[in-house]
Structure 1
């Protein structure tokens, strides 16, 4: 699991949580003592967030650690399912090519 992938998903979680509170990026930035641009970087996953910063986000956004972990678990579970389907499709295509080659060489 790539860390930038995790940062991206954490960022999406933070953005959703901020919007649930009807808060702008600028308002959150003021409360976090960072720039609005930095909030944007966190939300798009361009900049990794530290544990301390995440704790501060969660406090301000009235979220719990378990909320983040549940969100990540759901996201990565969905991605694993997509990968399973993709791998199954690749196998079926490969099997089809093998059968076609067998028939052509027969």
Structure 2
């Protein structure tokens, strides 16, 4: 069983962010090479970028909270037993965000 701390969660978020950004780069490359149609590219790219943005926002907020805690001299909270779970992109997007414009 792994122990998770806020610093581990931050590392996980940053790794997931990097992966989401890499996937977006690969999708753009496929589009530019003609390996993927625009109709297939747009929804997948929008979902991926929304997920990357969400992860970036979460990572930045967690960094800010950790910095505040360190400045105040408070120790980080003790680790939880369960690691964070990955969610499909549709689970973290606001209603209607994955569909695009009407």
TM bracket, shorter-chain basis: 0.3 to 0.5
Q: TM-score, normalised by structure 1?
A: 0.38
More helix by share: 1
Q: TM-score, normalised by structure 2?
A: 0.40
Asked which structure has the greater CA Rg, the reply is 1
